[in-house]
Amino acid sequence: MACRICSGRLHPFADFGRQPVSDAFVLPADPGEEFFFDLAVGVCESCAMVQLLHEVPRERMFHDGYPYLSSGSAVMREHFRALAGRLLATELTGPDPFVVELGCNDGTMLATIAAAGVRHLGVEPSGGVADLAAARGVRVRKDFFEAATAASIRAFDGPADVVYAANTLCHIPYLDSIMKGVATLLRPGGVFVFEDPYLGDVVERASFDQIYDEHFYLFSATSVRAMARRHGFELVDVERLPVHGGEVRYTLAREGARTPTAAVAELLVAEEAAELAAPATLSAFAGRVAGIRDGLVDLLTGLRARGATVYGYGATAKSATVLNYCGIGPGLVPLICDTTPAKQGRLTPGSHIPVLGPEAFADPYPDYALLFAWNHAEEIMAKETAFRDAGGSWILYVPDVYLVRG
Ligand code: JHZ
Ligand code: SAH
Ligand code: ZN
């Protein structure tokens, strides 16, 4: 098996077995044929890029019915408002600046840019969420970004000062085409800024559910720098972010265009010291994950034997890996509540647990809630104080299986 970036040899270190498309929620009346693939992960022995061994065709994941909404968390709405403000203040200050966002989803970030009257374009292949962005005044192109898309944007709109992508770049196996596109689109002094789940956090927290079809890559400073260099780009800044269970925001500029910050060297050194991409480190991660699976299944089986009820909270993409890897179905978790309209009234992919609206959570409260949206724990626990007051407990499963009692 060869590295998708450099053709180096891949060292496989974890296999989660047969998995469905994580955001393919099933209609109970018309289940159709579900698509499954082998969710296995490896690390490149040459460039240290962690990647899936098998890829799901992009049209199976990102289409008009793609359900995920960036605006589903108040913390994330604030995160993107702050980021937009920073781009406006630091990078979009010249005459008639232009910013392109890859994977703009429902326009949560670009709405702030649009409100400031700054020229922008969101590139978003999933039609349903792209329509939501357009409805809030964001200029969107319904397309997959790649080299050809970039050339046509450049021809029509001219060069961009900033290309930005959140939780999108790691979803794209064909980074070669993306980097060519960014090189075409970006003005000479412009920056490519992207943020994605950080390998260092995934390993440290054993957050194995960050691994699913859409997350084709798990980036680190080491692997991103190597990838960027192949295309004449330099890693000039890194910033660790608390969102989504730990991410890094990377800034790339053309080689020689900007001086790298001290943070870049610091993170590279830390990754080296931690031996982040070493087979032994990643095998140890895989071992911890198997322990979490056994612990979670034991806990849920024990609770069922005692007659306790457990609901899921947040029908996340991440939950597909947990449910299908652990073999958890409606017998152990009879329902999952979620605020996303396009997930409600459907069944979770592969595991077929009904997804209901948030009102189902309190009707009546379960004894336990399995928090699949653990990355939003603070926000969710703060608004579910009545569950706690009713004596409910939260179940978390990273970095270990543990209970948070009311
Ligand atoms: P959340 C998705 O992952 C898919 P998911 C994708 N691949 C990715 O990388 C990240 O997003 C960015 C619901 N919810 O953010 C809404 C409540 O019900 O952890 C969502 O369905 N009540 C693009 O799906 C889910 O939980 C609430 O109060 O793992 C959260 O999904 C809140 C805050 C959320 O991402
Ligand atoms: N940036 C948002 C949305 C992340 S969801 C956030 O952080 O919340 C990932 C998005 O990337 C999806 O909306 C998906 O349709 C989009 N996407 C997938 N492949 C893409 C590509 N090649 N070009 C642009 N967007 C893409
Ligand atoms: Zn490689």
Q: Report whether 100 contacts 160 (CB < 8 A).
A: yes
CA gap 182, 162 in Å, rounded: 10
Residue 388 has pLDDT above 90, yes or no: yes
CA gap 189, 181 in Å, rounded: 16
The reported pLDDT for the residue numbered 364 is 96
Average pLDDT in the 79-83 region?
98
Measured from the CA of 197, which atom of ligand 1 is nearest? 9
Residue 190 has pLDDT above 70, yes or no: yes
- pLDDT over 70, % of the chain: 100
CA gap 379, 398 in Å, rounded: 17
CA gap 149, 123 in Å, rounded: 9
Taking only Cα atoms into account, the Rg of the chain, rounded to an integer number of angstroms, comes to: 21
The reported pLDDT for the residue numbered 368 is 98
Of 17, 43, 13, 12, give the one whose Cα is nearest residue 322.
17
Please confirm whether the linkage preceding 197 is cis (ω < 30° from 0): no
Both structure tokens of 92: 């979009």
- pLDDT over 90, % of the chain: 98
CA gap 135, 66 in Å, rounded: 17
Q: From atom 21 of ligand 2, which residue's Cα is the shortest distance away?
A: 144
Residue 75 has pLDDT above 80, yes or no: yes
Residue 31 has pLDDT above 90, yes or no: no
Probe residue for ligand 2, chosen from 55, 105, 141, 194 as the CB with the greatest number of ligand atoms within 8 Å: 105
Sequence-distant (6+) residues with CB within 8 A of 365 are 386, 387, 390, 392
Distance of CA 226 from the midpoint of ligand 3 (Å): 8
Q: How confident is the model at residue 405 (pLDDT cuts 50, 70, 90)?
A: confident
Probe residue for ligand 1, chosen from 61, 376, 379 as the CB with the greatest number of ligand atoms within 8 Å: 376
Q: What is the DSSP letter of 62?
A: S
Q: How confident is the model at residue 114 (pLDDT cuts 50, 70, 90)?
A: very high
- Residue 257 falls in which region: left (phi positive, over 0), alpha (psi -120 to 50) or beta: alpha
Distance of CA 312 from the midpoint of ligand 2 (Å): 25
Ligand located closest to 72 CA: 1
| pTM of this prediction exceeds 0.95 | yes
Half-sphere exposure of 357 (CA within 13 A, CB side): 2
> How does DSSP assign 333-361, residue by residue?
---EE-S-TTTTTSB-TTT--BEE-GGGG
The reported pLDDT for the residue numbered 406 is 58
Model confidence pLDDT, tens digit, residues 217-274 = 999 999 999 999 999 999 999 999 999 999 999 999 999 999 999 999 999 999 999 9
Q: pLDDT higher for 405 or 395? A: 395
The finding on whether 318 has its CB within 6 A of some atom of ligand 1 is yes
Q: What is the DSSP letter of 33?
A: P
The whole-chain average pLDDT of the chain stands at: 98
Ligand located closest to 223 CA: 3
3-state secondary structure of 393: strand
Ligand 2 binding residues, C-beta < 6 A: 58, 62, 66, 68, 70, 102-103, 105, 123-126, 129, 144-145, 166-168, 171-172
Sequence-distant (6+) residues with CB within 8 A of 243 are 75, 76, 79, 375
Model confidence pLDDT, tens digit, residues 160-175 = 999 999 999 999 999 9
* Alpha-helix residue ranges (DSSP H) falling in 147-208: 147-157, 175-185, 199-205
Q: Which residues are found with C-beta within 5 Å of the ion, ligand 3? A: 3, 5-6, 8, 44, 46-47, 49
Measured from the CA of 66, which atom of ligand 2 is nearest? 15
Question: Hey, what amino acid is at 154?
Answer: R
Angle, to 10 degrees, between the axis of helix 175-185 and the axis of helix 221-229?
60
